[in-house]
Structure 1
Amino acid sequence: MRAHATAALAVLLVLAGCAGVGPLPDASNAGAPTASGPSAGGDAVTVHVTRVVDGDTIDVTYANGTSDTVRLVGIDTPETHAENTPSEFTGVPETDAGRACLGRWGEEASAFATARLADRNVTLTFDPNTDRRGYYGRLLAYVSVGNTTYNYAAVAEGYARVYTDSEFSREDAYVRAADDARAANRGLWTCRTPATDGGTDTGRTDTGGTTTSDATTTTAADGGSASAALAVRVHADADGPDGENLNDEYVVLTNTGDSALAMGGWTVTDAADHTYTLPDEFTLPAGDAVTVHTGRGTDTANDLYWAAGSPLWNNDGDTVTVRAANGRRVAEHTYPG
């Protein structure tokens, strides 16, 4: 699209109802498949995710039944089973509070990976600048679901830092995404100013409707209390040229309330009045999220596709409007460029 920007908001609605380098894989590698696994030539390969180890590591099986462990190239999420080193995360203090905050975000990163990757068929691709396997023998790869690269999404959403030691080819784009997440105080970057309890997540809205640094809160027109909550996040800057990666431009709708949202017929609109209508009978369970991708694909419970032929969300700033099926505006947010 135009420049890069990622914006987020939380709205209240009233409803009517760490990798090193190593040898390339070959037939002698215990974990490498001999038929359908990755070759030294760098071909993409489809695998099935059998286990999410943590936010940056997964176990997979190939079509021929062999298994492998994949370390996601270019990113590093906080540890969940070992002590974190805050100095690896820019601005996070080297204190017990900083380590505790990172530990919580390690768990959040694992949950994010599980929601996106667990028990799915994904595509592995490989970076021309890195070795195929790391120091521990794990495969180093980009992991994609459709046209969305999970590695990049984890950085943009604030679940991971950029692992620059690997000198991977997409580093510049990933660093920009991390800078945006840090500037928005998103995800693990809230740990940069932790309180004595281990950190305050300033990227969320509490039940009292407090507006936080990277969120805008909207309440009912009559000032009444909300019966459900929806968090809306826009990812405007796709990995690589936006027009060539439409499904990495998306809006994420998360039901943060305690009851399901009946959203059939709801619309999502940009400032230019491009409109997407959610499928009839679509319901978003409490605590669940759905991603509305700009491009084409097959709708699922967690991924919907606008089927636009070109980028929609302006990287220089835009307005997101969500309306109920009856046309009532239930959320509106303008994000800057």
Structure 2
Amino acid sequence: MAGARSLVVVVAVLLVSAGCLSPAGVGELTPAAGDASTETATATVADDLPGTPVPSTEPVVRATVVEVVDGDTVKIRYDNGTRDTVRLLGIDTPEVHAENTPGEFEGVPDTEQARQCLRQSGVRASNVVEDRLAGERVGLGFDENEGRRGYYDRLLAYVYLDGEQVNYRLVAEGHARVYDSEFVEGERYYAAEERARDAGRGLWTCTTATADGGETTASDGGQAERTADATLDISVHADAAGPDGDNLTDEYVTLTNTGDDALAVGGWTVSDEADHVYRISEGTTIAPGGSLTVYTGSGSDTETDRYWGRNSPVWNNDGDTVTVRDARGTTAATRTYG
């Protein structure tokens, strides 16, 4: 990210004058010492999901995500040690800890299958946010049309990671709907939601009311199923030598391009039945006959080897389903084993 550094005291004064500091007894929004920048954040999203954040919503506060409550709520710690709860502004992900109301999601029927589908989508959204934000240092931006606090005294904010507005990304990927309000990013968000809904991404698969979220899974003990034009095979090495948790680089999934043309997989995701999600970095291509292996543990990425960087196993030794989705959220291939 590029942008001019501002003195801490200047940002602090701006925050006070804008009413950003919370009342006594509630965690203050504390800029990081030496890192209180007002930076231009350029969203790096898929080509069909363009968008640049409205300048007034750029991050002005830094904090570390210490807990993910669900897909639209996280807990943070400021640099001075105080803590706060953030509700991602402008979005709403399906409930995980309460009953969902299908009528809140356009086109989703009021059926038990749809409720189950929304619950699964909520779990997926939570896991996506967990994988992306847990332990990360993020930027927080605010909205001039919204108050600083919402229900339960939660801070309402745009969350930025590596220059990208996470709230927008969740809508664009179909993990969240737009929460009806007058926030300044609304027009951009509604357009992203419409594209996600039209493409049937994420929670919008629930419009078909299928109990499994509209995704195909293999049921033949390990054969991969693919969309008609897909050229991707999946193999799984789930049972690492010794205790799995002590040997995470011996747990891996390999994606093989069986086609005659290079396969661009940048922005694609690999996930398990519990919806732990690994996102393949932009620009990644698998050559014809070539493979890309995703290791659960940590290591140095190469053209053919990628490392998830997790601290615990992902793939169940006694059976699981690997799902690969393209950048639009469409299932490209699955493999069930066990």
- Normalising by structure 1, report the TM-score: 0.57
1:96 to 98, 106, 112: 112
Q: For residues 200 and 132 of structure 1, do their structure 2 counterparts lie closer, same or farther at Cα, with a shift above 3 Å needed?
A: closer
8 A contact 2:67–2:74 mirrored in 1:
yes
Tell me: CA distance 1:81–1:64, structure 2 relative to 1, closer, same or farther (3 Å).
Answer: same
Task: Tell me the secondary structure at the aligned position of residue 269 of structure 2.
Answer: strand
- 1:184 corresponds in structure 2 to 199
**Partners in 2 of 1:133 and 1:139 — Cα distance?**
5
User: Quick one: structure 1 residues 283 and 130, their matched pair in 2 at CA, closer, same or farther if it must change by over 3 Å?
Assistant: same
User: Cα RMSD between the aligned structures?
Assistant: 4.1
Distance 2:146 2:256 in 1: 37
Deviation at 1:287, TM superposition (A): 11
1:58 maps onto 2:58 in alignment: no
* Cα distance in 2, alignment partners of residues 133 and 46 from structure 1: 17
Match of 1:146 among 146, 159, 162: 162
Report how many aligned residue pairs link the two structures. Answer: 229
> Is residue 33–residue 64 contact of structure 1 (8 Å, CA) maintained in 2?
no
Question: C-alpha distance in 1, partners of 2:283/2:29?
Answer: 48
- CA separation of 1:101 and 1:44: change in aligned 2, threshold 3 A: same
> Is 1:48 matched up with 2:47?
no
Cα distance change, pair 231–101 in 1 and its aligned pair in 2 (3 A):
farther
| Aligned residue number for residue 124 of structure 2 | 108
Pairwise mapping of residues 150-165 of structure 1 onto structure 2 (< 5 A)?
150-163=166-179, 165=180
CA distance 1:68–1:231, shift in 2 (3 Å): farther
Where do 5+ consecutive residues of structure 2 fail to align? Answer: 1-17, 37-55, 237-252, 258-264, 274-281, 310-326, 333-338
Counterpart residue number, 2:186 = 171
Structure 2 distance, partners of 1:34, 1:229, is 44
Q: CA deviation at 1:183?
A: 1.5
Q: CA shift at 1:182, angstroms?
A: 1.2
Within 5 Å, which residues of 2 pair with 1:244-323?
251-255=266-270, 268=284, 284-285=294-295
Contact 1:130 1:167 in 2 (8 A): yes
Note closer, same or farther for the CA distance 1:50–1:34 as it changes in structure 2 (3 Å cut): closer
The letter of the residue matching 1:218 is T
Q: Is the 8 A contact 1:47 1:123 kept in 2?
A: yes
Residues in 1 aligned to 2:121 and 2:256: alpha-carbon distance in whole angstroms? 18
- Measure the CA separation in 2 of the matches of 1:33 and 1:189: 37
Deviation at 1:194, TM superposition (A): 1.6
1:71 is aligned, of 87, 90, 93, to: 87
C-alpha displacement of 1:25: 5.2
CA distance in 2, matches of 1:231, 1:54: 33
Confirm or deny: 8 A CA contact 2:255 2:293 kept in the other structure.
no
Partner of 1:134: 150
What per-residue deviation string (whole Å, max 9, x for no partner) do you get for residues 220-274 of structure 1? 7xxxx86656499xxxxxxxxxxxxxxxxx932434589xxxxxxx97369xxxx
Alpha-carbon spacing, 1:205–1:58, altered in 2? closer, same or farther (3 Å)? same
Distance apart, 1:180 and its partner CA: 1.6
* CA separation of 1:231 and 1:175: change in aligned 2, threshold 3 A: farther
- Gaps of at least 5 residues in structure 1 are 1-22, 233-249, 259-265, 276-281, 292-299, 304-319, 321-330, 332-337
Deviation sequence 1:144-163 (CA, Å, 0-9, x none): 11111111111111110111
Instruction: Tell me the secondary structure at the aligned position of residue 53 of structure 1.
Output: strand
Question: Aligned partner of 1:190: which letter?
Answer: T
| Code of the aligned partner of 2:80 | N
Q: State how 1:175-214 maps to structure 2 within 5 Å.
A: 175-195=190-210, 198-202=211-215, 206=218, 208-212=223-227
Counterparts of 2:23 and 2:283, CA distance in 1: 54
TM-score between the two structures when normalised by the length of structure 2? 0.57
State the 1:136 CA deviation. 2.1
Identity of aligned residues (%): 42
State the partner residue of 1:125.
141
User: Which structure's relative contact order is higher, taking Cα pairs within 8 Å and 6+ residues apart?
Assistant: 1
Deviation per residue, 1:148-186 (Å, 9 max, x gap): 1111111111110111x2211111211121112112211
Q: What's the secondary structure of 1:78's corresponding residue?
A: coil
1:24: how far off? 5.4
- Paired residues of 1:24 and 1:131 also in contact (CA < 8 A): no
In structure 2, C-alpha distance between the alignment counterparts of 1:201 and 1:287, rounded to whole Å: 30
- In 2, the alpha carbon distance for the partners of 1:209 and 1:28 equals 56
